[in-house]
Chain A
Amino acid sequence: MTKILTKHFDEPKLHELETYKRLDGYKGLAKALTMTPADVTAEVLKSNLRGLGGAGFPTGAKWGTVPPPDKVPGPRYVVVNADESEPGCYKDRVLLTRAPHQLIEGLLIASHAIGAKESFIFVRGEYQNQYDIVEKALKEADDAGLTKTCSIKLMRGAGAYISGLDTALLETMEGKKAWPRQPPPFPTVAGLMAKPTVVNNVETLSMLPFILREGGEAFAKIGSPKNGGTVVFSVSGHVEKEGIYEVPMGSKLRDVLELAGGVRKGHKLKAVIPGGTSMPPLLEKDLDLTLDFDAIRAAGTFLGAGGMIVLDETADAVEVAHNIERFLTHESCGQCTPCREGSFWSEEILERILDGKGTAEDMPNLTRMGENITGKVICALGDTVGVIARTWQQKFPEDFKKRIPHGQAS
């Protein structure tokens, strides 16, 4: 199967500059530096690369909205989003650990494309091991003169999931509470310290060396329509072989599950969360679904950041929904009332159902609340609060009813 990012992962010293260079490392950057920024962006547009941090926004199109230096002079930045905190996602951790130079090369290519002379890698604080690895790789790159065109600085977060949302990331970097901003303006116009800023995910940027080296067309050919290249799934939960699996965009859910050794022996599949716990679950009947940003929407869910959690029949939908709402309550930044209060009350209701004290009104109340939250808040975390409150009970009503002593709602 075609691999791009993990192709050389059997090389034990891939994290070192010498090994990385021997395996075509920094050739994409060399190529990019012979091209104009506009041509680099055009190549990335052609590749159909989509943002792999969760939203799937076309990367070349995002860069294209940065005002050129002759229109808006002054600094502009690229920020690497290495805040990875969505439950189920850990591919960025593995990419940072095994291939830090691939990311640095990608970042330098992106910086050239938008004319950034200074860029940043924002790493979640809990990835101290990865921070050390990237710091070392960056030192190697500095010493080798690779960062002459754009200097790179590191920064760590402080434990908040919401810092991973691009505008909240920028607030965190500015030394503020991680309160998401209400766009417009979008970060590409007014981002870090109100300067034009591109925020891209670790995996997205790590694709760039290949795209520049082999061409956008070659990358596009690997994936499915409008979804170029590959995607790295982080698989966890009730499977035989947890781990990361890189597959071409447009692979089938069944294929990824198979790579992970299938559902653990002696058990039956109950649900698959495709992209991290914010994404509604899929069922056994969805196994032939195509995995790319567009196709998966037909099934009412999202590819997200590829954090695939597999649940077998031992998982209880009430416990799962409660676990996710508890997480969202903890992580809500609190600035929108529907999200702050709605996450809290969803968690409370689910806890009551778990304790066997649910009432007939609880399920319809969760649905009603859910409908009143999604779309009425600043950011996607709040939308998720509503989505989780509705979807798990819709997909697994038996699990809920069984725990509510007085049966169904009237």
Chain B
Amino acid sequence: MSAKTAVKSPFSPEQEKALEGWTKAYPYSNMGLVEALRSVQDWNRMISPEAAARVGEIFGLPFNRVWGVVNFFPTFTIKPTGKFRVGLCHGLSCFLKGSDKMESCLEKTLGVKKKEVTPDGKFSWEPMECLGACEQAPALQVNDRLQGAATEQLIAKLKDLK
């Protein structure tokens, strides 16, 4: 058996197909790598070395090449995030509008420190750099979607997310 088939894929057949799809989405297969890794991050809320290795096989790239990309980009994490990954901007405009107070509020409401996951796996939160919503400071997003300016009410409502 070749080294290639010796590794059991950490992905489901549908996921394998989706990843293959990214190798054909652009004129050169490597151009699909960041999008493919975004999918893995979405599915698993993290990217494990095994997952990165399999993505490498699909793209025909060495593990280290893929792992370097995983570790470079803030969207990719090698430890789990919550199902709802909450980002609070602490860029300058948001800092001026009290992002530090809202960080404390997130910690209190969700009951975990930054980058930690709630026991039910539902939430994690982290400070993020400018989210491009400086007029809605301090800007809050969930899974890459802007929610608006963080307030105690908005943060309390996060708990209702399903």
Chain A residues close to B by CB (< 8 Å): 75, 84-90, 92-93, 118, 124-129, 153, 155-161, 172-178, 193, 234-238, 242-244, 273, 277, 307, 309, 311, 315, 319-320, 323-324, 327, 330-331, 333
Q: Is B13 an interface residue, CB under 8 A from the partner?
A: no
Contact: B73 with A237, CB < 8 Å? no
Shortest distance between the CB of A87 and any CB in chain B (Å): 4
The 10 closest A-B pairs by CB, nearest first: A175-B33, A158-B73, A159-B74, A236-B134, A242-B135, A158-B75, A87-B91, A159-B75, A87-B130, A175-B30
Contact: A323 with B34, CB < 8 Å? no
Contact: A234 with B76, CB < 8 Å? no
Q: Which residues of B contact A89 (CB under 8 A)?
A: 130, 132, 134
Of chain A, the residue at the smallest CB distance from B33 is A175
Shortest distance between the CB of B128 and any CB in chain A (Å): 8
Contact: B133 with A93, CB < 8 Å? yes
Contact: A324 with B92, CB < 8 Å? yes
> A-facing mask of B123-138, CB < 8 A → 1, else 0?
0000011111111010
Contact: B130 with A235, CB < 8 Å? no
Of chain A, the residue at the smallest CB distance from B99 is A323
Of chain A, the residue at the smallest CB distance from B37 is A158
Shortest distance between the CB of B51 and any CB in chain A (Å): 15
Contact: B132 with A127, CB < 8 Å? yes
Complex CA gap A311/B28 in Å reads 46
> A-facing mask of B19-63, CB < 8 A → 1, else 0?
000000111101111110110000000000000000000010100
Contact: A87 with B134, CB < 8 Å? yes
Interface residues on B, range: 35 or more
Evaluate whether A118 and B134 lie within 8 angstroms (CB atoms) in the complex, with A156-B38, A327-B129 already known. no
Q: Is B95 an interface residue, CB under 8 A from the partner?
A: yes
Q: Which residues of A contact B68 (CB under 8 A)?
A: 177
Q: Which residues of A contact B18 (CB under 8 A)?
A: none
Complex CA gap A87/B137 in Å reads 11
Contact: A236 with B73, CB < 8 Å? no
- 26 A–B contact pairs at CB < 8 A? A85-B130, A87-B93, A88-B91, A88-B93, A124-B132, A125-B38, A128-B143, A155-B31, A155-B34, A157-B34, A158-B75, A159-B74, A159-B128, A173-B34, A174-B28, A175-B31, A178-B72, A193-B27, A193-B31, A236-B93, A238-B96, A242-B135, A311-B96, A323-B91, A323-B92, A327-B91
Contact: B34 with A175, CB < 8 Å? yes
Q: Is B154 an interface residue, CB under 8 A from the partner?
A: no
Of chain B, the residue at the smallest CB distance from A326 is B90
Shortest distance between the CB of B79 and any CB in chain A (Å): 16
Q: Is B144 an interface residue, CB under 8 A from the partner?
A: yes
Q: Is B108 an interface residue, CB under 8 A from the partner?
A: no
